[in-house]
Chain A
Amino acid sequence: MTQKPMDRTVIDDLVTGKLSPDESLRILDLIEREPDLSRELDMRVAVMDAVVSGRADDARQKQAQESGITRTIKSVREVIASYGTGRQLAIPLALIGALLLVGIGVLRSLPLQSAERYALLKVESPEVDVNVRGVGEDDINTAHMLFRDGKHRQAILLLERFTKAYPQSPMTAYAEYSLGAMYLASANRRVLGVLQWFDRSTVEAGLEHLAASLDCSRSPRIIEESHWLRAKGLLMLNDEVRARQELAVVAAQHGVRESDVRRLEGRIIRGE
């Protein structure tokens, strides 16, 4: 009876340390017996090294800067080749146009914010962004890096993986705070430069994570920031009563956000 050939993507998991120790040992035994698998392992180790060292990104940027016209033409060719001929593009383009019209209709029913209120409430990124050390540190540090690179969804997924894997870790409070801030930052919506609002479900997810952070945090800074962001999130949902309660807690801390609380209360809550 012939054995099913091993799925080579398991070697990725071996290389990146995603298998259990026992499974890693088992795969290493298999690799030792198969020269082809050994070469696959070497290949993937080298690719990981190229990516993790960041030099592949540098090389990529360098390539992008060199011979810009040539690369532009090549990129356009690649896009057209992947989507088909001009004639075939007509259907997707027509669909996009139709969706745009429907979208505008939907937008009209959204809780749009004034430019000033939107600018005051929007969250750009986690204010507290520190390099952590400990079990699972890679997930947290990488998530923040991904977020700074604009890869919000990936950053959030990585942090959620951490909080599921290490619910009792000393870094969980920081991870939950980071998740809350990232969700709120991802809730910003802006179309055509004039229509702006905050996505309700994203804000609610952010508020949940901030609450989880407050449940387990002992750091005064994280506690202050979590309450502050909860206040903003609640204002995004037009819940002024609960937002005031959060702001009162922040003000009572007499921390770095004290003046921000007064400003926010003055500009938004009292409608000045």
Chain B
Amino acid sequence: MREPISHDVGPPPIALSMDVWKTAYIKYRRFWTNLAKTTHISNDEAEDVVHAVVSSIMEHSPKQFQSLEHLRNYVAKSVLNKAIQDKRKRNKSTGWSESLEAEFSICVEQADPALLEQQEAFREAVARLPERDFEIIKLRFYSGFRFAEISEMLGVPISTLKSREEAALRRIRTWMRRRGFDV
């Protein structure tokens, strides 16, 4: 008797419940907003683009997503394309629909406790970095300086800065994994 042909094509798609959307929004909204701002629009306009895209995907897209990362990338590309499109047509995005605005406005309080725990752990991991590594991380991820600019500021070669940043991220990752987070 022949073995049945396996039709296993990978992990099952994630169910796009409101909770999953809220988790994704909490985790990635800054990232998505920063992407929209690459088209030289203001913070408010960028947020409107993100909200419009998320609304649209929630309401209209039949697409299935294999993971949160898959959803992250899909929204990221959609945000970029919409921001570019809006800029060309000089149209502004209108943001959330009213019902979604209400739903997402108290997002953080209703977030998945596991996500909040992970975010708290990340903050602690970053806070534990040695001063000079913390400064580099802040300059890169908060102020958004390029390595060339930080090098001029601190008088440290770019290659050294890159090594320190990599070491800092490794340290954060190790600390998180020791606490049971898969990063």
Contacts and interface: CB of A to CB of B under 8 A. Distances in A.
A142 B142 CA distance: 9
Interface residues of A, number: 53
A49 B119 CA distance: 8
A16 B27 contact: no
Q: Which of B123, B125, B166 is the most central at the interface, judged by chain A CB atoms within 10 Å of its CB?
A: B123
Interface string B9-45: 0000000000000000001101101111111111110
Interface of A: 8-9, 12-21, 24-25, 28, 31-32, 38-39, 41-53, 55-60, 62-63, 78, 133-135, 137-138, 142, 146, 153-154, 157-158, 161
B166 A48 contact: no
B149 interface: yes
Interface stretch (B53-61, B89-97, B132-140): B132-140
A31 to B, nearest CB: 7
B169 interface: yes
A146 B27 contact: no
Contact of B38 (A20, A48, A133): A20
Contacts of B137: 47, 51
A217 B72 CA distance: 42
Nearest to B168: A47
B147 A51 contact: no
A42 B80 contact: no
Given A45-B28, A47-B172, A135-B41, A55 B143 contact: no
B106 interface: no
B134 A60 contact: yes
A134 B165 CA distance: 31
A161 B42 CA distance: 16
A59 B165 contact: no
B122 A46 contact: yes
Nearest to A32: B73
Contact of A28 (B76, B130, B165, B173): B76
How many interface residues does chain B have, given as a range? 35 or more
B30 A21 contact: no
B44 A133 contact: yes
A59 B38 contact: no
In the A-B complex, list the 8 residue pairs whose CB atoms are closest, starting with the nearest: A17-B34, A59-B127, A60-B127, A48-B141, A56-B126, A50-B123, A55-B123, A16-B144
B73 A13 contact: no
B1 interface: no
Given A15-B31, A28-B73, A157-B149, 18 more contacts: A8-B166, A15-B141, A16-B34, A17-B34, A21-B80, A24-B38, A28-B77, A38-B69, A41-B69, A46-B27, A47-B122, A50-B122, A50-B126, A52-B142, A56-B134, A58-B123, A59-B123, A134-B42
Nearest to B162: A9
Interface string B109-122: 00000000011101
B144 A18 contact: yes
B27 to A, nearest CB: 7
Contacts of A161: 149
A52 B183 contact: no
A15 B69 CA distance: 14
Contacts of A51: 126, 137-138, 141-142
Interface in B63-93: 69-70, 72-73, 76-77, 80-81, 83-84
Contact of B80 (A24, A48, A135): A24
Contact of B143 (A60, A134, A146): A146
A142 B143 contact: yes
Q: Which of A9, A13, A17 is the most central at the interface, judged by chain B CB atoms within 10 Å of its CB?
A: A17
Contacts of B28: 45
A63 B27 contact: no
